[in-house]
């Protein structure tokens, strides 16, 4: 458990506002939710690596009738979600486990600030599973913190390494992210590349599934 998690769990009713204040320094989730809603309609949403449910709160608001599924290997998946419980489900599960069950595909698959927590060798498998769960014509959205600027990049590394507690965090440059996505997901077409406030390092890539030639990759943890 990282220092930040340890402290937050002891804040009681102040935990949610404290978590929102900390997170807002790095990313504006309200802006991200609105940007996602403007890109593509969705009836079924999958978030891979949903964390405590902060983005889920926004997605179930901007997609007012969509069904949402959030998965995360952590036991705290969706713990701070305060939206409509009838429209959101959280599972302690990785993407390989979900894909093995062959659920119906999703119109929208979201991976936000997850890949840099996954070993580089395992990232293609995670993306292939995500591809297999994306419906034809659907969108796969990847948001990553690109380490192109050294000062901001070190700040994000310090936060994940020492506050979140991930000793193996490894960020990509924007070019490395583009190479990973292009080489792993040939049946997808990039439709959007945009920064998300308040930092240009918050890179959102939207990829549209243009063919049906997807299949599950080897098992991986997300």
Indicate the pTM of the whole model: 0.87
Q: Give CA separation, 171 vs 114, 118, 137, 164, in Å.
A: 10, 10, 29, 15
| pLDDT tens per residue, range 96-110 | 999 999 999 999 999
pLDDT in tens, 47-79: 999 999 999 999 999 999 999 999 999 999 999
Give the per-residue pLDDT at 23.
85
- Report yes or no: 172 and 205 within 8 Å, Cβ to Cβ: no
Q: What is the pLDDT of residue 2?
A: 43
HSE, CB side, 13 Å, CA atoms: give it for residue 146: 23
pLDDT > 90: percent of the chain:
70
Which segments within the chain are labelled E, that is strand?
A: 44-48, 67-72, 88-92, 106-112, 134-145, 188-196, 199-209
Task: Check residue 19 and give its pLDDT.
Answer: 80
Write down the domain spans for the chain.
3-209
Query: Percentage of the chain surpassing pLDDT 70?
Result: 82
Q: What angle do CA 156, 161, 165 make, to 5 degrees?
A: 130
Rounded to a whole number, what is the distance in angstroms from the first to the last CA of the chain?
A: 17
Q: What is the pLDDT of residue 148?
A: 83
Phi, psi torsion values for 145, nearest 5 degrees = -90, 110
**CATH architecture group of domain 3-209:** 3-Layer(aba) Sandwich (3.40)
pLDDT tens digits, 149-185: 766 666 676 677 666 767 788 999 999 999 999 999 9
Cα 43 to Cα 156: distance, rounded to the nearest angstrom: 33
For 29-45, what is each residue's pLDDT tens digit? 999 999 999 999 999 99
């Amino acid at each position: 458990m990282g220092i930040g998690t340890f402290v937050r769990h002891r804040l009681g009713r102040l935990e949610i506002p404290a978590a929102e204040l900390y997170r807002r320094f790095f990313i504006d989730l309200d802006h991200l939710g609105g940007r996602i809603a403007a890109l593509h309609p969705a009836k079924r949403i999958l978030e891979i690596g949903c964390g405590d449910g902060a983005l889920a709160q926004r997605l179930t608001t901007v997609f007012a009738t969509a069904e949402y599924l959030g998965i995360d290997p952590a036991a705290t998946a969706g713990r701070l979600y305060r939206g409509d419980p009838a429209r959101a489900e959280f599972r302690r599960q990785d993407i390989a486990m979900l894909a093995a069950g062959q659920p119906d595909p999703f119109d929208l698959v979201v991976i936000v600030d997850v890949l840099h927590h996954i070993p580089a060798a395992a990232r293609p498998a995670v993306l292939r599973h995500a591809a297999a769960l994306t419906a034809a014509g659907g969108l796969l959205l990847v948001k990553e913190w690109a380490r192109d600027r050294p000062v901001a990049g070190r700040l994000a590394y310090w936060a994940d390494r020492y506050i979140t507690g991930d000793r193996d965090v490894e960020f990509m440059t924007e070019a490395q992210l583009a190479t990973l996505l292009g080489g792993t997901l040939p049946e997808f077409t990039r439709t959007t590349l945009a920064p998300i406030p308040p930092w240009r390092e918050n890179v959102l890539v939207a990829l549209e599934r243009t063919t049906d030639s997807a299949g599950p990759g080897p098992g991986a943890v997300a």
